[in-house]
């Protein structure tokens, strides 16, 4: 009986994934051939994030309409949407699904690599496969463990599952003043509901509350994130092995893997959705395709409903978008925006204003020791920040080039946001204890890794002509 419930859990989440894939396939109006396996990989990977978000939106509509949560109430209408989207999307492709999937697998095999590169390719794929297998055993066997997971997030999920609808969570004073059952209370009643709703869907599929199995979406999120990032890097004309290395750089981050194994926090989802929002927005500026615009807008909406800080993270996209949309004056606009933001932030610190639970204060007290330990000494990030500094030194001439400036500015804005929070708010106390500093940095870390790959490619491309020009002179000297 339990095995059947576990099978139902997997089927239910694979259905949500398929829903997202069919929606993206229907929206994607580009004419593609069977050999476009990279595009298929991107559609499949990103489909998870679209399907998960659409699922939670539908659950919100059910609660608004006072329809109790249930497998049929949630899945049946979405199955109709998926069927309609699949029918619409079928005409977008010149070849059958079987051929598209075959070419996608060919793309993942890294066909055409030299012997040495293919060996590295196999090693990296084997590493990732083993890692995901081990992470899956952690997710399905470990009960809800992280502190905030069961004091701020799963509290809502448990109440909403038991009541089969969304009920409000309020402050402690409201909980004490109002009649029993009219409002509920936990450690963070103002947190959004997208992440708890994913746990509600897991429990609904299982037919009971299981502290371990409700967290299966965290494993799916990491797996789909890897597929999507590989598709993004390949679409940026990164060679197959380089794209796989870039994907590995993200998926091998210890803190990211920890957020999969110790599932329950919203930071993994926030990191993935924010990264893909930034990449989709920058892609839209280049392509001006309605598909990319719809994807960027949808992912941005998800960011807002995952964590309250998602609203602030979206603001970090503005300098990069300005540089991408207005290449001639974008850098000057971005510089003015940075200066204005700095002045505004410093003025706000004089007011003692509290934003999203963080109290602004005009006392510069950067926790240098905690930051140095977190980024350069402890094992949470491997060599990510050493690598970022190294790439910045190598490619400093290209960082503000038209093709790289938008992403450089987004990464710079994100780092400035983190530094400001650690220096001018009460968040500094959670830097020294190595808690919030790592969770907050996780939101930006995958984008830093992608920026590293693209910046290194720009540096290598700039060196290639110089090396070619030097070869005749070296030959003459010889």
Domain encompassing residue 373: 309-466
Residue 67 has pLDDT above 90, yes or no: yes
Q: Which pLDDT score is estimated for 313?
A: 95
Distances (CA, A) of 321 to 301, 338, 425, 445: 17, 13, 27, 19
Eight-class DSSP state of 69: P
Q: Which long-range contacts (CB under 8 A, 24 or more apart) does 14-18 make?
A: 15/75, 15/78, 15/79, 15/82, 16/48, 16/51, 16/52, 16/54, 16/55, 16/78, 16/201, 17/47, 17/48, 17/51, 17/52, 17/220, 17/224, 18/47, 18/51, 18/82
Whether the per-residue pLDDT at 468 is higher than 60: the answer is no
Q: Is the pLDDT of residue 391 over 90?
A: yes
Report the C-alpha gap between 137 and 392 in whole angstroms.
Answer: 38
pLDDT in tens, 361-382: 666 677 788 888 889 998 889 8
Q: What is the mean pLDDT of the chain?
A: 87
Q: What is the pLDDT of residue 224?
A: 97
The helix (run of H) or strand (run of E) holding residue 234 is helix 216-235
Instruction: Give the pLDDT confidence of 140-193 residue by residue, as tens digits.
Output: 999 998 888 989 999 999 999 999 999 999 888 888 887 777 789 898 899 999
- Reported as a pLDDT band with limits 50, 70 and 90, residue 337 is confident
Where is the domain boundary, 268, 294, 329? Answer: 268
> How many residues does the structure list for the chain?
478
Q: What is the CA radius of gyration of the chain?
A: 23
In this predicted structure, the answer to whether residue 478 has a pLDDT above a threshold of 50 is: no
Lowest mean pLDDT among 58-62, 359-363, 440-444: 359-363
Indicate whether 281 belongs to any domain. no
Tens-place pLDDT, residues 20-36: 999 998 998 765 554 46
**What does the pLDDT read at residue 183?**
87
Half-sphere exposure for 73 (CA within 13 Å, toward CB): 17
Query: Quick one: 422 and 323 in the same domain?
Result: yes
CA-nearest of 374, 349, 282 to 319 is 282
| 71-90 and 194-206 helices, crossing angle to 10° | 110
CA angle 20, 25, 27 (to 5 degrees): 95
- Please report whether residue 475 resides in a domain: no
Q: Is residue 296 part of a domain?
A: no
Q: Give dist(CA 470, CA 145) in Å, integer.
A: 59
Q: 255 in a domain, yes or no?
A: yes
Q: Taking residues 219-237, report their average pLDDT.
A: 95
Average pLDDT over residues 101-107: 68
Q: In sequence order, which residues have a C-beta less than 8 Å from that of residue 31 and are 6 or more positions away?
A: 92, 94
- Residue-level pLDDT at 362: 60
Are residue 53 and residue 142 in the same domain, yes or no? Answer: yes
Lowest mean pLDDT among 27-31, 54-58, 64-68, 89-93: 89-93
Mean pLDDT value across residues 285-302 = 95
On whether both 243 and 346 belong to a single domain, the answer is: no
- What is the distance between the alpha carbons of residues 155 and 146, in angstroms, rounded to a whole number? 13
According to the model, what pLDDT value does residue 368 have?
A: 80
Which of 101-105, 372-376, 417-421, 471-475 is the least confident region? Answer: 471-475
Residue 473 lies in a domain: no
| Predicted structure pTM score | 0.92
- Work out the angle at residue 226's Cα, subtended by the Cα atoms of residues 225 and 232, and round it to the nearest 5 degrees: 85
Same domain, 406 and 261: no
| Residue 239 and residue 344 in one domain | no
Number of domains the chain contains = 2
Same domain, yes or no: 119 and 237: yes
Tell me how far apart the terminal alpha carbons of the chain are, to the nearest angstrom.
77
Residue 81 lies in a domain: yes
Structure token pair of residue 224? 């789909």
Which pLDDT belongs to residue 364? 66
What percentage of the chain has pLDDT greater than the value 70? Answer: 86
Per-residue pLDDT band at 413 (split at 50, 70, 90): very high
Asked if residue 70 belongs to a domain, the reply is: yes
Vertex 116: Cα angle to 110 and 122 (nearest 5)? 45
What is the rounded CA–CA span in Å between residue 410 and residue 316? 6
Output the pLDDT for position 474.
46
């Amino acid at each position: 009986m339990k095995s059947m419930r576990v099978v139902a859990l997997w089927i239910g989440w694979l259905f949500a994934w398929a829903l997202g894939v069919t929606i993206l396939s229907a929206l994607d109006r580009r004419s593609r051939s069977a050999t476009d396996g990279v595009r298929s990989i991107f559609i499949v990977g990103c489909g998870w994030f679209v399907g998960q978000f659409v699922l939670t939106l539908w659950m919100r509509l059910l609660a608004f309409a006072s329809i109790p949560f249930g497998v049929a109430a949630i899945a049946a209408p979405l199955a109709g949407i998926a069927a309609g989207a699949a029918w619409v999307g079928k005409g977008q492709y010149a070849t059958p699904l079987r051929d598209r999937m075959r070419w996608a697998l060919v793309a993942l095999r890294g066909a055409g690599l030299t012997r040495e590169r293919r060996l590295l390719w196999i090693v990296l794929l084997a590493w990732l496969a083993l890692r995901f297998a081990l992470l899956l055993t952690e997710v399905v066997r470990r009960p809800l463990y992280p502190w905030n997971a069961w004091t701020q997030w799963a509290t809502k999920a448990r109440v909403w599952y038991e009541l089969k609808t969304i009920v409000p969570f309020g402050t402690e004073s409201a909980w004490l003043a109002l009649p029993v059952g009219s409002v509920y209370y936990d450690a963070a009643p103002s947190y959004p509901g997208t992440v708890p709703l994913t746990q509600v869907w897991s429990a609904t599929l299982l037919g009971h509350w299981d502290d371990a199995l409700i967290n299966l979406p965290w494993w799916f999120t990491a797996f789909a994130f890897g597929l999507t990032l590989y598709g993004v890097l390949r679409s940026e004309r990164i060679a197959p092995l380089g794209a796989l290395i870039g994907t590995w750089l993200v998926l091998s981050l210890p803190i990211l893997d920890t957020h999969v194994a110790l599932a329950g926090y919203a930071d993994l989802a926030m990191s993935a959705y924010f990264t893909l929002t930034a990449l989709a927005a920058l892609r839209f500026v280049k392509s001006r395709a309605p598909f990319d615009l719809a994807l960027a807008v949808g992912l941005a909406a998800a960011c807002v409903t995952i964590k309250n800080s998602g609203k602030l993270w979206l603001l970090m996209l503005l300098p990069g978008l300005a540089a991408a949309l207005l290449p001639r004056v974008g850098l000057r606009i971005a510089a003015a925006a940075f200066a204005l933001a700095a002045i505004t932030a410093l003025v706000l610190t004089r007011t003692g204003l509290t934003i999203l639970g963080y109290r602004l204060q005009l006392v510069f007290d950067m926790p240098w020791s905690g930051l140095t330990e977190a980024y350069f000494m402890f094992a949470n990030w491997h060599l990510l920040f050493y690598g970022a500094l190294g790439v910045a030194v190598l490619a400093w001439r290209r960082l503000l080039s038209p093709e790289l400036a938008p992403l450089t500015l987004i990464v710079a804005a994100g780092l400035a946001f983190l530094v400001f929070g650690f220096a001018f708010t009460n968040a500094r106390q959670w830097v020294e204890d190595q808690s919030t500093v790592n969770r907050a940095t996780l939101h930006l870390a995958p984008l830093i890794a992608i920026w590293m790959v693209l910046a290194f490619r720009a540096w290598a491309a700039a060196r290639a002509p110089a090396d070619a020009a030097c070869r005749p002179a070296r030959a003459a000297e010889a």
